Chain A
Amino acid sequence: MAGLAATFGSGAMTNSIQELEDAEVFFVIGSNTTEQHPVIAARIIEAVRKKNAKLIVADPRDIRLAKLATLHLSHKMGSDVALLNGLMHIILNEGWEDEEYIKARTENFEQLRDVVAQYTPEKVSEITGVDKDSLRKAADIYANAKRSMILYAMGITQHVAGTDNVKSCANLAMLTGHVGFPSTGVNPLRGQNNVQGACDMGALPNVFSGYQPVTDQKAIGIFEKEWGVTDLNGKVGLTLTEMIDAIDKGDIKALYVMGENPLVSDPDSRHVARAFKKLDFLVVQDIFLTETARLAHVVLPAASFAEKVGTFTNTERRVQLSRKAIAPLEGTLPDWKIICEISSRAGYSMNYDSPIDILDEINRVTPSYGGIMYSRLIDSWGLSWPCPDEDHPGTTFLHKDKFVRGLGSFNVSEYIPPAEPPNEEYPFTLITGRVGFQFHTGTMTRKSSVLEREAPKAVLEMNPNDARQLRIRDGSIVAVESRRGELHLPVLITPDIPESMVFSTFHYSENNINELTINAIDPVAKIPEFSCAVSIRRT
């Protein structure tokens, strides 16, 4: 999000999902779309099948979408900046850039030109492992179509260079004039149904709702007036990864976790567990008793989505109404009610009668949500922000005619290697992800019999050549060891993963792959890298 905010002025999908149908080129990088965003993948697949759209997939693994791709670039883990700079180098060399667009709508182009000049195909091919021909082909396909779309997900953001990776995607799009038009843009796919909404509402350490900085006097004024207080301190808080370190150091004594299971989902989870045990007071609010909740001093049972009214904001910035289908189970409350009760007991009385009241407040204090009123969400498929007033129809694609920040800013990055490259002792690169049948730490999906049957346990995917060399059979148990821990996992031999790389999922607390992963973080967004070096031996 930080990457797109710096370059475009807004960190969200520039286009709507519907627009995928008319894209001519998809450049999918760091997204296992078929498994993680199947609805979006289906649109891509149909555009390829029915309209002959071209599909470039950049992913180390031969993921399902890659099998349908015009071109699959299997680049090395963490080499995204080099790959993207390399494509821009070729585009500039060939004169495929959009000169007019660069002049009219962007700034800092010279800086970009100077840096990408060093990313020759030879050098990039060496860093990424992608051959020069494929690089040229990808640059050609992407640059020389009218409606090209970049789609990405955690595969490029969860890196020490996560922000750089995103900025480089934005650079590529601006260089070729591929943003600000229908079916043309840069589209981060959000990994949860309402993570866009949570960010929009200021569930971040540095902003109020609608990305109004907590340090901004004008914003502080708006919220002090709305909430009837006078002492909002204007200080930026900590991110999740920073909090865990602060707990470990003893700087944080109490923690309130809502709908998260960091004990399983965060990297280096033994470190997380050690830190959490130091807390004087831990509160967990969730719909099930998660691994994190088991450590809590107080557990607050929350109502599920089906038991409450509210809105979700999906990946295309669309705010949709979610209704109550059944009454909350005995002893549970909707999250908003729990928060209000606690706030009131803590001395600040929150007197909302319903989620509609809360949405009214959101309308008043959040310019981009100004016209997203409850009455307009009934009987509709929702509204996409920005939607500043009640007559505004919502916005399907962003940055039309001009970027949110004015001129698009080329924010050029240099390639930096992964935090923990493989070496003799730990010769494999472990990457982690999800499968389509499980969601995150499985707190919900593992309770569904068919979903659990489809993906019942963690496996370690390994290339057949590596397996042969280590004399490992399909299904046999191996010890996987990183600098932080060791796990025993069954092997799934598959040519879909390149040599020297292994893959596993983080759904399973009984075999928690995050005991091995690394919490090296991106300096801007503070997002952890996860991927790390491991050794593998037979057991």
Chain B
Amino acid sequence: MKRLKKDNVLSFLKEMNKKENVFCPQSVEGRDLILMPLGDGVYSGDIGKTTVSAKAILFPQTEEITSFKGETISKIFDSSKILLFGVRPCEMKAIQFTDRFMTRDDFIDPNYLARREKLTTIVVACHEPPSDTCFCVDAGGMPYLENGYDVQLFDAGDFYIAITDSENGEEIVENKYFEPGAEKDKNALEEIKKRAISQKTNPGMKKAIEILKEDKLNEAFWEGLAERCTNCGGCVYVCPTCTCFNVYDLPFQGGYIRCRSWDACTHAGFTRETSGHNPRPTQGSRLARRHEHKLKYDIINFNESGCVGCGRCSDACPVGLGAIEIIGQINEQGEKNTYH
């Protein structure tokens, strides 16, 4: 157990940045908090909740995956080492979820994996919910992690208490900015953990999961919600576990570059077939698909919900169709519906 003074965080990150690419929550002119390369914005010490999750680092909004010119095809990998500082526990859970997803059934996503293998994570546990839309506890998580990180920091006032869960993490806390911990830190850490789990937002995910499992909702329910969906795709783009993408080729220097960009299952073209037929023909059916995927099929397939309770979709949605509101509606409707 070690300590890292908050006043030393920036110096520590600057030093690390000499060897690898450091990303941490920063903002430009006091606007949105975003995980950016160190120095692209201002690090104020606020870890908060970034508008877009850490997904954007491992699986960028747009990335080049292959280039081809004549007979030559080359794969493009980003092989730089990354240190990610200020990941929240829910996001780390989402990364663990994505790790499984990107390697399932031997279908390995090489670009994701190349980045993941070069990634070191410093998680900052939440001593209090960073926003009103946080509901990780309701979603079956905790505002801190038991495992699956490199370093985890707990906020103890002027300093962080640091614990590690990997060799990589061990190496990091050897850095001169980490100071030896005190005996009382162990108790302090338990106190922080206890305090952390008090969360105001509890939409009732477990109940919603049961309702979906029992197929209690009809099409009219989803179509009713979809009437106000503006189909912006924002909920999908900010979601830390949504990793669907679209592939396209761009002409470049006499050849082509194959790129992929984030896509959204809420868009009609996502499932439209070449014939014009669309198995998810309405906005309601697409909304249903998205939420059933997370709260029903991910549980069947991975025994884990695809929603980690970060609440970003509820922050982003301009018309109140984030997970919190949808879960609330599922529960309300589930109680009303008597048929099975």
Contacts and interface: CB of A to CB of B under 8 A. Distances in A.
A450 B259 CA distance: 12
Task: Pick the 4 closest A-B CB pairs, nearest first.
Answer: A42-B318, A453-B269, A449-B248, A454-B269
Interface of B: 29-30, 227-228, 230-232, 246, 248, 261, 263, 267-269, 276, 318-320
A450 B230 contact: no
Given A38-B318, A454-B268, 17 more contacts: A34-B230, A38-B232, A41-B230, A42-B230, A42-B319, A45-B230, A45-B318, A46-B318, A46-B319, A49-B319, A67-B227, A379-B30, A436-B231, A450-B261, A450-B263, A450-B267, A475-B276
A68 interface: yes
Interface in A22-38: 34, 38
A38 B246 contact: no
A39 interface: yes
B228 A38 contact: no
A456 B29 CA distance: 39
| Chain A: number of interface residues, binned into ranges | 20 to 34
A43 B232 CA distance: 14
A67 B267 CA distance: 19
Contacts of A67: 227
B261 A38 contact: no
A43 B319 CA distance: 8
Contacts of B268: 454
Contacts of B319: 42, 45-46, 49
A20 B168 CA distance: 52
Nearest to A436: B231
Contacts of A39: 318
24 contacts: A34-B230, A38-B232, A42-B230, A42-B318, A45-B230, A45-B318, A46-B318, A46-B319, A50-B320, A68-B227, A68-B228, A379-B29, A379-B30, A436-B230, A436-B231, A449-B246, A450-B246, A450-B261, A450-B267, A453-B267, A453-B269, A454-B268, A456-B269, A475-B276
Contacts of B232: 38
A218 interface: no
Nearest to A41: B230
Interface in A485-510: none
A34 B261 CA distance: 25
A396 to B, nearest CB: 21
Nearest to B223: A67
The winner among B29, B268, B318 for most chain A CB atoms within 10 A is B318
Contacts of B320: 46, 49-50
A450 B269 contact: yes
B231 A449 contact: no
A41 B228 CA distance: 9
Contacts of A51: none
B139 to A, nearest CB: 24
Contacts of B269: 450, 453-454, 456
Nearest to A38: B230
A45 B228 contact: yes
Interface in A313-337: none
Nearest to A43: B318
Nearest to B264: A450
B74 to A, nearest CB: 21
A475 B320 CA distance: 34
A454 B267 contact: yes
A479 B248 CA distance: 33
Contacts of A41: 230
Nearest to A452: B269
Contacts of A34: 230
B312 to A, nearest CB: 17
A64 interface: yes
Contacts of B230: 34, 38, 41-42, 45, 436
Interface string A450-492: 1001101000000000000000000100000000000000000
A42 to B, nearest CB: 3
A38 B233 CA distance: 12
A462 B30 CA distance: 50
A377 B276 CA distance: 47
Interface string A431-452: 0000010000000000001100
Contacts of A38: 230, 232, 318
Nearest to A450: B246
A64 B261 contact: no
Contacts of A49: 228, 319-320
Contacts of A449: 246, 248, 261
B97 to A, nearest CB: 24
B20 to A, nearest CB: 25
Contacts of B267: 450, 453-454
A68 B230 CA distance: 12
Given A46-B318, A46-B319, A49-B320, A453 B246 contact: yes
Interface string A250-285: 000000000000000000000000000000000000
Contacts of B263: 450
A267 B68 CA distance: 43
Contacts of A46: 318-320
A298 to B, nearest CB: 25
Nearest to A48: B228
Nearest to B318: A42
A410 B141 CA distance: 63
A449 B319 CA distance: 26
Contacts of A50: 320
A268 B247 CA distance: 37
A64 B231 CA distance: 11
B250 to A, nearest CB: 9
Interface string A43-76: 1011001100000000000001001100000000
A38 to B, nearest CB: 5
A39 B268 CA distance: 20
Contacts of B29: 379
A498 B287 CA distance: 27
Contacts of B318: 38-39, 42-43, 45-46
